[in-house]
Amino acid sequence: MILGPMKKNVENRGYGFGTFQGVYTPSILTIIGVVMYLRFGWMLGNVGLTTSLIIVTVGSLITFLTGLSISALATNMRMKGGGAYFMLSRSFGVEAGAAMGLPLALAQAIGVSFYIAGFSEALVNSSLPHVGTWDPRLVGFATLLILAVVSTVSADIALKSQYFIMGAIAFSLVSFFMGSAPSSLTAASPENLPAPLGFWPVFAVFFPAVTGILSGVGMSGDLKNPARSIPLGTIAAVLTGYAIYMSIPIFLSIYVSDSAILRTDTMIFTKCAKWTFPILLGVWAATLSSAVGSFLCAPRVFQALARDRILPRAFARGWGKTDDPRFGSFCCFGIAAVCLWLGDINAIAPVLTMFNLSTYALLNLSAALESAMGNPSWRPTFKVKAPFSFLGFILCVIAMFMISPGWTFVALGMETFIFWIVKRRALTARWGDMRTGLWVALARAAMFKLDGMKHDLRNWRPDVLAFTELPVKSSDVIDLSRAISGGRGMVTLASIVPKAAGLPGRIEELSEILRSAAAKKRLDAFVRVLASDDPFATMYTLVHAYGFGPFVPDTVLVGVPMKEPRLISISALASFIAERRRSAVFVRERLQTEPSDGKSAVDRIDVWWRGQNQNGPFMLSLASLIVQSAVRKTRIRLCQIAETGISVTDTRKILDDFLLSSRVEADVHVLPHDPAKSPTKVIAEVSVDAKYTFIGLRAPQKDAPPETYADYFRQLREDTASLPSAVFALAAEGVDFKRIYRE
């Protein structure tokens, strides 16, 4: 990581705090909490000195790597209020920012009640005269009221009060480091001695002690120069906390060697110190400092969420020149007061830790992806290599699941639900984020990977280039495109408009009209609108040249109106598609709408099979895809007219054996050969009630004039005019669609 010159990236606003008061102080005082006083001896007694130091190092490493990622993000954007929420929403979008920011703000508001409850109990249970008779809940409410008034009136006063708290904690540490081994200690009886715990249970208890850097980051909107203060203050707080936390187990191991005593005596810290009262003062100060940090941070996140229209507008208002979020402070006070009134809410404490860890994880992932993609917009003055941030992300995820898999899923479930709610609101962000760049990077990697792989029919899905008209008068092309793609295949909707309509800005407007028409039919498709006075020449160009890398359309879908006057042009297009080794699908406009009588009729797709070319397997593949995406139950019926000299029974057996060996669910319908009727007349009679009727086209003759194929197409269209929807298909030459059904 490289710390470059840090320039101011925002104008002064809010309180204009510096690094020490605005970031370092709230961060270090949230890191140094009651776990240090009450659980370090317990940790040492359970796992020993070496493992204790490893636990401290691993926990601090996660926080340190997250601090590096936060520093990189903070120096790459114009930081405003909201801290971690602001960073995530500007990286992953408003939905992801809200999914992390709202639970985090609620966790901080609820955390205020935890810290105050801890302070009240520690005060009432102390040896001070008279306080033992006080009601801890009343002490908590009084403390909360004082803290709320100070924090709401002025964050400057609240943070300056932290200096006294910092002094008390420093005094307690001096007392501990000047201490000595207690003269007399009594261990618990063997029958009451709990068994030692392993690495992960102890790590789960310790890890919250090294979280806390978000308290400083949460003051981002009140910093004079966030680009300088956030990196310096955050990293300095993490390193200070690490130095203190590494020293305490060493001194404790010198003072007390009996692991049983360390494991059972939570007040061993006070018994080893030179003076007892500074330790008690430190415990009280640590709980109050964490409460102050959370009370200052949560309202500012609420305010940032409201300014992005996620919370009600009332939360967005700021008071005075310093833009104090008083409405958010009142809300934070209310949440903390309710939690204090409820009493024991320890059961939900683990999920609050998970909210912090999941936020850490996403901050690391954001910095890792930004660095890996290397977009021109990624220009942090605090540079961190992508592997460091990605390691932080991995460690956060591992820590979450090792601490509590159950609570991890609860936290992720709540965050996913919030993401879904905000997504449904379809908020339009006023800023850009990295999601487009991320998808481009993933698409690029996938395309190069696919381009180097051998094409396998086993994974075949049609890549459809569908031509439709504007305005969209008939939805047949869009309906069939959606049916055969099923939300999984690739579809491009193309429309050719006269040059007179292709004025600047008009093409974008027409593209949006076509995109809306596709969206109404729930079709995910790319849209291309081109201006040309020769539409068929432009269609040739698209068939020949459209595509990118491995994504080249292999199936061309064209709508054929019943009164299409340009059959010669359509026939010439079919010949061109065949020459380009593409499959052609012509859908004739639908004669009738879907049944609306409310009956539960079973829809049917008729596939007319000859078995002598690739048309049959190709059409069966399309029909199978339609069945997969159909909302209502739909059956495939494989139809065939028995050839001269072959009985109906033998033909049926051939089709039954084929369906059995290819594992295709379909009905079979075989008709005897009738020389008096043309095959297309038979098709028109048999499939008159089918939803789709697939009919294979003969391949155009290379040397024959277009008029010959146009006459064939005209006769086919006229013979099948009574069908509700006819689909004429011509499989690409050289593609063995039969292989799909041989594997």
Q: How far apart are CA 147 and CA 142, in angstroms?
A: 9
Q: Which of 567, 574, 577, 607 is nearest to 727 (CA)?
A: 607
Contacts of 239 (CB under 8 A, 6+ apart): 64
320 Rama class: left (phi>0) / alpha (psi -120 to 50) / beta? left
Q: Which of 365, 285, 291 is nearest to 332 (CA)?
A: 291
Q: Quick check: 73 and 56 in contact, CB under 8 A?
A: no
Q: How far apart are CA 155 and CA 332, in angstroms?
A: 14
Q: How far apart are CA 343 and CA 664, in angstroms?
A: 63
Q: Quick check: 473 and 507 in contact, CB under 8 A?
A: no
CA distances from 373 to 92, 361, 370, 434 (A): 14, 18, 5, 9
Q: Which of 644, 648, 724 is nearest to 684 (CA)?
A: 724
DSSP 335-380: HHHHHHHH---GGGHHHHHHHHHHHHHHHHHHHHHHHHHT-TT---
Chain CA centroid to CA 653, Å = 51
Q: Which helix (H) or strand (E) holds 540?
A: helix 535-545
Q: How far apart are CA 166 and CA 31, in angstroms?
A: 12
Q: How far apart are CA 231 and CA 69, in angstroms?
A: 9
Q: In which residue are the tokens 């909302």 written? A: 631
Q: How far apart are CA 662 and CA 731, in angstroms?
A: 19
Q: Which amino acid appears at position 386 of this protein?
A: A
Q: Which amino acid appears at position 688 of this protein?
A: V
Q: How far apart are CA 583 and CA 564, in angstroms?
A: 21
pLDDT of residue 528: 93
Q: In which residue are the tokens 């929403």 written? A: 89
Phi, psi angle pair for 212, to nearest 5°: 145, -10
The torsion defined by the Cα of 371, 375, 381 and 383, in degrees rounded to 10, comes to 20
Mapping DSSP to helix (H, G, I), strand (E, B) and coil, where does residue 585 land? strand
Mapping DSSP to helix (H, G, I), strand (E, B) and coil, where does residue 634 land? strand
Q: Quick check: 543 and 695 in contact, CB under 8 A?
A: no
DSSP 230-291: HHHHHHHHHHHHHHHHHHHHHHHHHH---HHHHHH-TTHHHHHSS-HHHHHHHHHHHHHHHH
Phi, psi angle pair for 57, to nearest 5°: -65, -45
The torsion defined by the Cα of 652, 654, 655 and 661, in degrees rounded to 10, comes to 140
Mapping DSSP to helix (H, G, I), strand (E, B) and coil, where does residue 127 land? coil
Q: How far apart are CA 407 and CA 401, in angstroms?
A: 8
Q: Which of 466, 463, 468, 467 is nearest to 488 (CA)?
A: 463
Q: Which of 81, 84, 103 is nearest to 421 (CA)?
A: 103
Q: In which residue are the tokens 């598609």 written? A: 577
Q: How far apart are CA 606 and CA 63, in angstroms?
A: 63
Find the radius of gyration of the CA atoms of the chain.
36
| CB neighbourhood size of 151 (10 A) | 27
| CB neighbourhood size of 460 (10 A) | 16
pLDDT of residue 192: 67
Tokens of 496: 């050719």
pLDDT of residue 9: 44
Is residue 568 exposed (0-12), middle (13-18) or buried (19+ Cβ within 10 Å)? middle
Q: Quick check: 67 and 232 in contact, CB under 8 A?
A: no
Task: Please report the domains of the chain, with CATH numbers, ordered by start residue.
Answer: 28-183+194-425 (1.20.1740.10), 457-592+601-741 (3.40.50.12370)
Q: Quick check: 106 and 332 in contact, CB under 8 A?
A: no
Q: What 8-state DSSP symbol labels residue 45?
A: H
pLDDT of residue 735: 80
Contacts of 647 (CB under 8 A, 6+ apart): none
User: pLDDT tens-digit profile of 590-638?
Assistant: 655 444 444 333 589 999 988 667 888 899 989 988 888 877 788 999 9
CA distances from 36 to 185, 248, 253, 258, 312 (A): 20, 8, 15, 19, 39
Tokens of 602: 């079973």
Q: What 8-state DSSP symbol labels residue 57?
A: H
List of the chain residues with pLDDT < 70: 1-14, 127, 186-192, 344-349, 426-433, 501-502, 561-565, 590-602, 611-612, 743
User: pLDDT tens-digit profile of 511-540?
Assistant: 899 999 898 888 899 999 998 888 889 999
Q: How far apart are CA 366 and CA 630, in angstroms?
A: 39
Q: What are the beta bridge partners of residue 96?
A: none
> Can you give the pTM of this predicted structure?
0.76
Q: How far apart are CA 669 and CA 651, in angstroms?
A: 10
Chain CA centroid to CA 562, Å = 47
pLDDT of residue 595: 42
Q: What are the percentages of helix, strand and coil residues in the chain, rounded to 5?
A: 60, 10, 30
pLDDT of residue 323: 83
Q: How far apart are CA 401 and CA 249, in angstroms?
A: 26
Q: In which residue are the tokens 């310790």 written? A: 206
Q: Which helix (H) or strand (E) holds 667?
A: strand 667-671
Q: Quick check: 520 and 492 in contact, CB under 8 A?
A: no
Q: How far apart are CA 692 and CA 712, in angstroms?
A: 21
Q: How far apart are CA 492 and CA 497, in angstroms?
A: 16
Strands 634-641 and 2-3: unpaired
Q: How far apart are CA 187 and CA 607, in angstroms?
A: 85
The torsion defined by the Cα of 638, 640, 645 and 646, in degrees rounded to 10, comes to 10
Helices (H), 75-208: 84-92, 94-124, 136-153, 155-177, 199-206
Tokens of 462: 């049609």
Helices (H), 32-93: 34-38, 40-74, 84-92
528 Rama class: left (phi>0) / alpha (psi -120 to 50) / beta? beta
Q: Which of 35, 116, 102, 39 is nearest to 343 (CA)?
A: 116
Give 171's Cβ-side CA count (13 Å radius). Answer: 18
pLDDT of residue 11: 44
